[in-house]
Amino acid sequence: MQGRDATNSSTAGTATDTDWQRQLDELVAKVDAPGAVFGFQRGDQRLVIGSGTANLDTGQPMTPGTLFPVASVSKVYTATLAMQLVDERLLDLDRPIREVLPDFRVADDRATKELTSRHLLTHTSGLDGDKFDAFGRGDDALARYVEDCASLGQVHDVGATFSYCNSGLMIMGRIIEALRDKTFEAALQEHLLDPLGATRTGMLPEDLIWRPLAAGHLEDETETLAVFHHWEGERSHGPAGGVVTNAVELMDFARLHMDGGVAPNGTRLLSEASARAMVAAEIEVPNPYEESTHWGLGWELSRRPNEPMLVSHGGDLLAHHARFVTCPDADLTLCLLINGDGGDRIADALFPPLLSEAGVTPYKPPQPPETPAKVDLGRAVGTYQTPAIRIRLEAAGDHLDSTLTIISEQIAEMLPPAQRERRQQMVPVADDFYLMSPDDEADPWLPVVFYESGGQHYLHTGLRAVRRTSGGQS
């Protein structure tokens, strides 16, 4: 089924375009963001609406065509480029990375030898996922990033479990560069954006400043919403989070995958086999209380009994956020782009009616029990650590007190001082299942699961595994 570029052109259920616009306007007024764009496509019906302001400094209005950095949604673009190489028999997902990048090296010798592209795409590499070093604006930025991975440590052994990994997708971007013999941006443009007809999508700021772009916004020291005067992303981070696009072209990208690798203009960009492989469950997420239950080749998946499968990816920067969900069985795509905080609250209000019509029970975050479960808190007490963060858990009556500290100087420098250490409570629901209190009362509690894999103990929350380094009762 062909997608269309039309906006504000259809209805869903009994709601009119005016109803959707009113809802979006009301929701934007209640969050810490000056504007947002909401879109959905069901079959050949498409609606894209903007609300509020794209830039508080200039007063630029938000429109359906306003561009946003979509952060980690970019990973699906990178995965698509990788699968095109598979189609051309230039890449074998199960061969060691060193066959393409002979000088590739990480801190762990075994990982250096065994890591494959499949590990990178499925977030099972075990690499520390939050290496965000910058290597300038030159064409060699990704190559220099990968060279610097020689000291990159492991969160877990290769293939032992699942932990969301930005670093792995940056390495995947360098593999694409090597096999295409061109920069990642050029590979994206020539092999995906141009044939897709995505004339507004791009990555580099110098290519995008001529187009209407949503500036990011955060509260300043006086708790006043203000423009965040930074470009959120280094060139070396592009394959993990550097794509800038609008809701219209994002939904065209969704059609490519929902239509088995065929773009809305009729161009085949992926084989049917590769399109299917990207949404096949490769790994089960260890935390069953998260919204996503499995991961494919680039896509996150929600596969629940007697429910249509959801194929999605989110994206979060400091001052921009994206939510992008498809339901292939219902031919439905949803997206929400926002230039400030509050995207989940808007998506949680607008997405459920459309998902319900598609036969999907919208995800509801678990709620804490009125009385904490009686469990042995000592099993969870201890220190959990990655190269980027340290979490200390201490028993405190009927719950755990959690102190999360950013130990990566690079990441700490990106955050306000108040956000470099966070104290929260963790309330037990069952022996190995806790809920962590949110920073804001309006936000949901976060599910935390404790488990063992490969002889190591982990806590898993926010799609990340954090290994226990001391304490605990096995």
- Residue from 10, 51, 72, 474 carrying the catalytic annotation: 72
Closest among 460, 408, 456, 457 to 153, alpha carbons compared: 408
> Are 315 and 74 contacting, i.e. CB atoms less than 8 angstroms apart?
yes
Question: Residue 5 above 90 pLDDT?
Answer: no
Mean residue pLDDT across the chain:
93
The CA distance from 411 to 405, in Å, is 11
pLDDT at 8: 39
Question: Residue 415 above 80 pLDDT?
Answer: no
- Biggest CA pair distance of the chain: 62
pLDDT tens digit sequence for 87-109: 999 999 999 999 999 999 999 99
* 125 in active site: no
Confidence of residue 38 (pLDDT cuts 50, 70, 90): very high
Question: Residue 471 above 90 pLDDT?
Answer: no
Residue 410 backbone dihedrals phi, psi, to 5 degrees: -65, -45
pLDDT at 14: 67
Closest among 108, 77, 145, 167 to 464, alpha carbons compared: 167
The CA distance from 361 to 340, in Å, is 28
pLDDT at 10: 40
Q: Taking residues 314-325, report their average pLDDT.
A: 96
Exposure string for 235-261, b = 16+ CB within 10 A, e = fewer: bbbbbbbbbbbbbbbbbbbbbbbbbeb
**What are residue 458's DSSP bridge partners?**
451, 467
Which long-range CB contacts under 8 A does 310-314 form with residues at least 24 apart?
310/355, 310/360, 311/257, 311/279, 313/72, 313/73, 313/75, 313/76, 314/71, 314/72, 314/73
Other residues' Cβ atoms within 10 Å of the Cβ of residue 281? 15
> What domains sit in the chain, N to C, each tagged with a CATH number?
1-364 (3.40.710.10), 377-470 (2.40.128.210)
Coil/strand/helix, residue 251: helix
Confidence of residue 4 (pLDDT cuts 50, 70, 90): very low
Question: Residue 341 above 50 pLDDT?
Answer: yes
Confidence of residue 299 (pLDDT cuts 50, 70, 90): very high
Confidence of residue 9 (pLDDT cuts 50, 70, 90): very low
pTM of the model: 0.94
Q: Which of 8-22, 151-165, 187-201, 323-337 has the lowest mean pLDDT?
A: 8-22
pLDDT tens digit sequence for 199-244: 999 999 999 999 999 999 998 878 899 999 999 989 999 999 999 9
CB-based contacts of 319, cutoff 8 Å, min separation 6: 215, 216, 217, 218, 228, 230, 232, 339, 340
The percent of residues above 70 in pLDDT, for the chain, comes to: 96
Q: Taking residues 244-269, report their average pLDDT.
A: 97
pLDDT tens digit sequence for 125-178: 999 998 988 999 999 999 999 999 999 999 999 999 999 999 999 999 999 999
